[in-house]
């Protein structure tokens, strides 16, 4: 089987609907990559592996029953700006460290309604005030496509 983490979102959704692979398989592939790469890239401030696998299992059951939303079973990282019920949300700031919202943001509620699977919370500039991902309280994010030298050709 090809590397499932190289699929586009459309490719993942199409493959899930065609039952070429399961949500649990693609989710585990992403979690394995995150575990290997995140110490170097610092892309995730929190990985929600148990939640992701539970969501993937539920999606697989829906897909098997011919049900599910437009994103059913597709694993996604969620920007740490959006509140996720029961999962720490900091907006990249020490000021919000430890804040675990008792509610879901509209954005994420819509993603879950459509069947998306949450891999975790993505690192970001503090309060989304920047574009370089260098001002997070959790440290800068390393661009995996341009990890050395200038980012001038990316901006």
* Residue 2 covered by a domain: no
* Residue 136 covered by a domain: yes
Give the β-pairing of 44-47 and 117-122: antiparallel
* Residue 152 covered by a domain: no
* Residue 151 covered by a domain: no
DSSP 8-state assignment for residue 8: -
* Residue of 154, 119, 147 lying closest to 12 (CA atoms): 119
Report pLDDT for 154: 44
| Domain coverage including residue 70 | 7-142
Instruction: Provide the domain count of the chain.
Output: 1
Report pLDDT for 2: 83
Report pLDDT for 146: 75
- Burial grade of 20 (CB within 10 A; 0-12, 13-18, 19 or more): middle
Per-10-residue mean pLDDT, the chain, length 155: 92 98 99 97 98 99 97 99 98 97 98 99 96 92 76 48
* Residue 33 covered by a domain: yes
Report pLDDT for 89: 98
- Burial grade of 64 (CB within 10 A; 0-12, 13-18, 19 or more): exposed
DSSP 8-state assignment for residue 83: -
What's the pTM value of the predicted model, to 2 decimals? 0.91
């Amino acid at each position: 089987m090809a590397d499932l983490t190289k699929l586009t979102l459309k490719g993942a959704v199409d493959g899930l609907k065609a039952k070429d692979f399961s949500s649990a398989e693609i989710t585990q592939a992403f979690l394995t990559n995150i575990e290997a790469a995140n110490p170097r890239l610092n892309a995730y401030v929190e990985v929600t592996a148990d939640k992701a696998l539970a969501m993937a299992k539920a999606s697989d059951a829906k897909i098997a029953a011919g049900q599910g939303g437009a994103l059913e079973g597709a694993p996604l990282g969620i920007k740490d700006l959006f509140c996720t019920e029961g999962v720490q949300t900091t907006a990249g700031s020490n000021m919000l460290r430890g804040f675990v919202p008792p509610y879901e943001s509209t954005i994420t509620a819509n993603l879950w309604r459509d069947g998306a699977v949450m891999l975790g919370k993505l690192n970001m500039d503090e309060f989304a005030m920047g574009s370089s991902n260098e001002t997070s309280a959790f440290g800068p994010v390393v661009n995996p496509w341009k990890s050395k030298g200038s980012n001038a050709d990316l901006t």
